[in-house]
Amino acid sequence: MLITPEYVFKDVTHITPEWLAEKGITALVLDIDNTLTADRSQELPEEVAVWLGTMRKAGVRLTIVSNGAEKRVRPFAQKLGLAYLYRSAKPLPFALMAAQHRMGVKRRQMAMVGDQLYADRMAAALYGIPGLMVVPRGPDLGAQVILKRKWEKKHWQKYYDRGGKTL
Ligand SMILES: [Mg+2]
């Protein structure tokens, strides 16, 4: 199934350079809301800042790919000094293609990191790259997302029913 998680991490900080290296992943596409920070927040949690530093030090290329508007995405990404794409229309995979070209990596070297199965996981699947799912950092604020979370539930459950672990 296109949206059943393949990998679930407790949060982004549990994704390690060693784990990525083992999979041959050298570039990450990052969602913002409920992945790097709380929904709609411009604050960057300290542990996520440390994690971004660890990734950079390990030579992992990073690009933000968010469905948010420019005014949500740009200030957050610029504060972090990260490349970014806004209004990305995930689950459509076109922004992932653009991110790949910008990062100058092969498709098999990329993974998508996000919290929503119907956006991030599906975009990754449609683009043919691994989706590294994280448990959402906090509550969702948008009505659409709240509705989609209801549909997501059984797909998260399927991951755990198959013996999947929160990494
Ligand atoms: Mg999100």
Q: Which domains does the chain have, with CATH numbers?
A: 7-161 (3.40.50.1000)
145 C-alpha to center of ligand 1: Å? 9
34 C-alpha to center of ligand 1: Å? 5
Distances (CA, A) of 14 to 19, 71, 96, 126, 167: 9, 29, 23, 25, 7
58 C-alpha to center of ligand 1: Å? 24
> With 80 as the cut, is the pLDDT of residue 25 above it?
yes
pTM: 0.97
Tokens of 162: 């198959």
Q: How much is the pLDDT for 136?
A: 96
> With 90 as the cut, is the pLDDT of residue 130 above it?
yes
